[in-house]
Amino acid sequence: MSQTDDSLRMILNDVLDEYVNTGRITIDSSVNEENEEIREITSKSAIILLRRLKSRTTANLEASKVIEKEFEATVLRTWKKPIDLLDLLLYISLEVASEFSSERGSKTGSKHSYIHEALSKQQTNACLIFNEILHLLKSGFPSGAYSHWRMLHEITCVSYFISKHGEEMAKRFLDYEVVKGYFQAQAIRKNQQKMECKSISERDIEEAKKKVNKMNKTYGSDFVKKANYPYGWVPREVLKTRSLREIEKSVKLEMLRPYYDLAGYTVYGGSKGLVFKQGLMTKKSKNVILPVGPSNYGLADPGKIAAISLGQVTACLLATAATLKRLVIIETLRSLVDEICDAFDEIHAEFSENSKE
């Protein structure tokens, strides 16, 4: 037990001793939580406990923050080369996307492109998620970074799918936000009383419903059917089974499905997630201690696969209006992603060698 745990126990015992002096109730005795006396003791003790914890544990919390900063510095030293390259990839992706949009916007009389709108929004969202992944890696949380990559993979698959099927598919994708918003609003409205929150009114629901009815007239009932959510924007004649797995296959990215499933182990509450942690080095011992904090190990896989996906999303956007300049940029992104993967593999191999010693 740590010094912090001892401190917490001592404070808790002190507080309870102040309020449990009846002789009929002891600190560790079983109690009925519906009992009025127990409720009063619990309520008063909790207020005092929190107040004392705030005042007495400040030094411990500050010390923890210092340790966190020192550990982050260690992670950045260990993985400096690939992390610096990830920063460069994000910078290039943001810059070329911005320039691409500016060039298209500056063309007078240019026809509105739903593909450009959809893929630009997808690429912007991909950059945000990649930035979050990058910060998780820098802080030593590879499992969190890996689970974040799932969203990046979904964006990549959908981007390629939209690009493959053209303007009409892009428009359907953009218009479907109305349907998604309606279903989400319905779910929130149904449960917001339990959550003691009133963020959505009946009027909001009615307004959303009007927009959905308009989509129904435009695209038909299949588009707005709840059973087809969240891929109702994909026509049945294009994909018989509308799912991310089928979209993956149609754009030839199904080879990443095993990694997608692997990344999901740390997201869902299944038994595999209890023993699979990206930051945990494999040990022969059966008594493996699962990490509850950051790790300096396991950054390679999430770092590599995130770089691959961001490179793909950005290339997909640039390829919608290919020029020689944009083709050169796409090839540059490929070379950078390859370099990132090699840099991660090199450091990961050093960990493997050291673990054999």
The pLDDT value given to residue 307? 98
257, 244 contact by CB (below 8 A): no
Q: Is residue 23 part of a domain?
A: no
Q: Is residue 69 part of a domain?
A: no
Per-residue confidence band for 1, with pLDDT thresholds at 50, 70 and 90: very low
Determine the average pLDDT of the residues in 86-91.
Answer: 98
pLDDT tens-digit map of 20-42: 554 555 555 566 666 777 777 77
Q: Is residue 15 part of a domain?
A: no
Structure tokens of 228? 């087809």
Determine the average pLDDT of the residues in 322-333.
Answer: 94
Determine the average pLDDT of the residues in 146-158.
Answer: 96
Q: Is residue 197 part of a domain?
A: yes
The pLDDT value given to residue 285? 44
CB atoms < 10 A from the CB of 224, how many?
22
Count: domains in the chain? 1
As a whole number of Å, the end-to-end CA separation of the chain is: 30
174, 151 contact by CB (below 8 A): no
The pLDDT value given to residue 26? 57
266, 256 contact by CB (below 8 A): no
Regarding predicted confidence, which is higher, 269 or 187? 187
Q: Is residue 13 part of a domain?
A: no
Q: 0.95 cut: is pTM over it?
A: no
Determine the average pLDDT of the residues in 47-56.
Answer: 79
Q: Is residue 269 part of a domain?
A: yes
Q: Is residue 92 part of a domain?
A: yes
Per-residue confidence band for 3, with pLDDT thresholds at 50, 70 and 90: low
Count Cβ neighbours within 10 Å for each residue of 64-101 and write b for 16 or more, e otherwise: eeeeeeebeeebeebbeebbebbeebbebbbebbeebb
75, 296 contact by CB (below 8 A): yes
The pLDDT value given to residue 57? 74
User: 3-state SS string over 313-343?
Assistant: HHHHHHHCCCCHHHHHHHHHHHHHHHHHHHH
Q: Is residue 57 part of a domain?
A: no
Is the pLDDT at 237 greater than 70? The verdict is yes
pLDDT tens-digit map of 269-308: 555 555 555 545 555 444 444 556 788 988 999 999 999 9
Per-residue confidence band for 6, with pLDDT thresholds at 50, 70 and 90: low
Determine the average pLDDT of the residues in 233-240.
Answer: 96
Q: Domain span at residue 207?
A: 79-280+297-356
Is the pLDDT at 323 greater than 60? The verdict is yes
Task: Output the CA torsion 248→256→307→264 (10° steps).
Answer: 100
The pLDDT value given to residue 317? 96
